[in-house]
């Protein structure tokens, strides 16, 4: 009753949070919690402060034309990913419960005119705070491009209150160190959130996580991963991977996440004026962000590669060349990193060939690549767009982008090459690429060994570090989809199975027991659900995605 929002806990004062935001680069004006309801704060036994809120519990003052409801599909994704990120060691909001019902709402999942009825579902979200960058944008004067403004223009008194609250509550050491100088205090706070954000996005990049909607209202003021919508863990390594089917321009692509987070920090800096002068915050941003990101990213990548003894200048190049090899061979990001822990400097030739076979098995097949490079535009539409780009560039700029057209032409070219490529040719090419990189990796590992006294102890420690930084299990889209489809048919055991697995992402699933449902209300429909899932469920939780997964689209 409490976690579905049907009964209010004692002492709770339900409220919805007002905030603004830059969405896809444009200031959207007032937004606010349109489907989330704050219940209050709980103090833990060691003094930790936890804010709890219900997402999907109904209409709030900021729901606008919507109904304030969330559905089972999106709620399961948020529930599972919040917990997956936590157990990967990445700062995140948490999910406590997921409660569904027989009440239904109509949703057009792909915005294509095919709506369907879906179950209403409520997630209990937990964090130290849900305050965002966009919370400070409520003071924004009319935007020069959109004309929109925040609801609290000229209310600097509220901005001061909010800064006092955020810094004294969540950054008490900064408050204590600068209690007599507000500008220095605010500058220290901005420096810390800049560093936290840089480290956070570095962590994302190192596990192949794409957020999908990095608007300023989806950026946490304490450096947490917040608001799980059309997120995705990257399967095949593609630096330009876009997980959000609604992101037509690729603004929030995997490789753009670091620069977008820096841009968002710039908008936070603007929102803190006059309490923190812009010249101070901009200098902090330029001096701190890139350096902190690159430092944390390389530290994490060294651990993923087992480079635990030396920090060499060429390590960055080795990482770049690994990612380039992954891209050229369409390798599975998670599984290739996981396999590298079993590579050794003195591997004998026969075992090396076996290792190479295993590594290349994690690269996309010809059939998979044909799906990847399948043209997305009707040939007549493409022809028309190309003619329009030549004859009327102004009109073309309104309805298309040069980047999208170039990408489509690249797909056509790649598909044409694939038609001539045999599976043996592809395997041979992939093995050649991986042999070249593995030789560079072997040389780098040899330098590690030469710098230590006990090679066996180093090798044991290397494997330990790699196995605690390269997950075996992540929340791949197809795994989430299998769990969602079973749940929509009344069987929630797969959600529990996946949750249990994601709680131990770095471990082999030895003795992993699937959760068996005993709840009477689930039993009636479970059999039908299991039958419908039988062919999909046989896929291993750690295998690269099946072919049908490439058709999944999250908006």
DSSP letter (8 states) at residue 24: T
Q: Which helix (H) or strand (E) holds 20?
A: strand 20-23
Name residue 106's beta-bridge partners: 117
Separation between Cα atoms, residue 201 and residue 219, nearest integer Å: 11
Based on the residue annotation, tell me whether 217 is a catalytic residue of this protein: yes
Of residues 441, 497, 507, 444, the one with CA closest to residue 473 = 507
Which residue of the set 33, 164, 217, 290 is catalytic? 217
Q: What is the Cα–Cα distance from 304 to 299, expressed in whole angstroms? A: 9
Cα distances (angstroms) measured from residue 142 to each of 210, 267, 275: 31, 14, 19
Going by C-alpha positions, the residue among 278, 258, 259 that lies closest to residue 268 is 278
- Whole-angstrom Cα distance, residue 1 to residue 12? 14
**CA proximity to 219, closest of 168, 264, 188, 169:** 264
Q: CA 426, 431, 434, 435 torsion: positive or negative?
A: negative
Cα 386 to Cα 384: distance, rounded to the nearest angstrom: 5
- The reply to whether omega before 529 is within 30° of 0 (cis) is no
Q: How far apart are CA 27 and CA 214, in angstroms?
A: 13
198 Cβ contact partners less than 8 Å away, ≥ 6 residues apart: 258, 261, 262, 288, 289, 290, 292, 293, 296
The H or E element containing residue 63 is: none
Contact partners, residue 281, CB within 8 Å, separation at least 6? 187, 190, 269, 272
* 343 to 236, 319, 348, 353, 444: CA distances (angstroms): 21, 16, 11, 11, 13
Pair 469, 300: CB distance under 8 Å: yes
Classify residue 249 by its DSSP letter: T
Distance CA 549, CA 163 (A): 45
Residue 299 token pair: 């530290």
**CA 59 – CA 34 distance, rounded (Å):** 7
Beta bridge partners of 15: 38
DSSP string for residues in 31-43: ---SSEEEEEEEE
Instruction: Tell me which residues are annotated as active site.
Output: 217
């Amino acid at each position: 009753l409490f976690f579905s929002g049907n009964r209010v806990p004692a002492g709770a004062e339900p409220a919805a949070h007002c905030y603004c935001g830059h969405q896809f680069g444009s200031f959207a004006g007032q937004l606010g919690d349109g489907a989330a309801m704050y219940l209050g704060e709980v103090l833990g036994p060691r003094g930790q402060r936890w804010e709890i809120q219900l997402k999907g519990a109904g209409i709030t003052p900021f729901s606008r034309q919507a109904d304030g409801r969330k559905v089972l599909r999106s709620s399961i994704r948020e529930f599972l990913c919040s917990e997956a990120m936590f157990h990967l060691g990445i700062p995140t909001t948490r999910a406590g419960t997921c409660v569904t019902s027989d009440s239904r709402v109509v949703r057009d999942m792909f915005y294509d005119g095919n709506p369907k009825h879906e179950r209403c579902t409520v997630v209990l979200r937990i964090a130290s705070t849900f305050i965002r960058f966009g919370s400070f944008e409520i003071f924004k004067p009319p935007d020069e491009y959109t004309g929109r403004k925040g609801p609290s223009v000229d209310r600097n008194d509220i901005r001061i209150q909010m800064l006092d609250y955020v810094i004294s509550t969540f950054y008490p050491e900064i408050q204590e160190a600068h209690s007599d100088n507000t500008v220095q205090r605010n500058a220290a706070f901005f420096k810390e959130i800049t560093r936290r954000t840089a480290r956070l996005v570095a962590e994302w990049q190192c596990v192949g996580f794409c957020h999908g909607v990095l608007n300023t209202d989806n950026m946490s003021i304490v450096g947490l991963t917040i608001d799980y919508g059309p997120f995705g863990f990257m399967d095949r390594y593609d630096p330009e991977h876009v997980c959000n089917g609604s992101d037509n321009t690729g603004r929030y692509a995997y490789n753009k996440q670091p620069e977008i987070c820096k841009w968002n920090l710039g908008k936070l800096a603007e929102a803190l004026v006059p309490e923190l002068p812009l010249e101070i915050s901009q200098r902090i941003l330029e001096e701190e962000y890139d350096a902190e990101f690159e430092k944390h990213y390389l530290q994490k990548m060294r651990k993923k590669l087992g480079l635990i003894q030396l920090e060499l200048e060429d390590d960055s190049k080795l990482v770049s060349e690994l990612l380039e090899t992954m891209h050229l061979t369409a390798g599975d990001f998670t599984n290739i990193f996981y396999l590298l822990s079993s590579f050794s400097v003195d591997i004998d030739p026969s075992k090396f060939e076996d290792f190479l076979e295993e590594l290349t098995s994690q690269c996309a097949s010809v059939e998979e690549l044909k799906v990847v490079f399948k043209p997305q535009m009707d040939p007549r539409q493409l022809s028309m767009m190309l003619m329009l780009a030549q004859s009327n560039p102004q009109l073309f700029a309104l309805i298309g982008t040069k980047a999208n057209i170039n990408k489509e032409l690249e797909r056509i070219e790649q598909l044409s090459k694939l038609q001539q490529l045999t599976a043996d040719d592809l395997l041979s090419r992939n093995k050649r690429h991986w042999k070249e990189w593995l030789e560079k990796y072997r040389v780098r590992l040899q330098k590690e060994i030469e710098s230590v006294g006990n090679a066996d102890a180093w090798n044991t420690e290397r494997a330990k570090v790699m196995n605690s930084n390269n997950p075996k299990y992540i929340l791949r889209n197809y795994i989430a989809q299998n769990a969602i489809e079973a749940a929509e048919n009344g069987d929630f055991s797969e959600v529990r199975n996946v949750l249990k697995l994601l709680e131990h992402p770095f471990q082999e699933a030895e003795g992993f027991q699937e959760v068996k449902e005993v709840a009477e209300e689930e039993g009636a429909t479970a059999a039908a659900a299991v039958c419908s899932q039988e062919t999909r469920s046989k896929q291993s939780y750690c295998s690269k995605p099946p072919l049908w997964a490439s058709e999944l689209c999250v908006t």
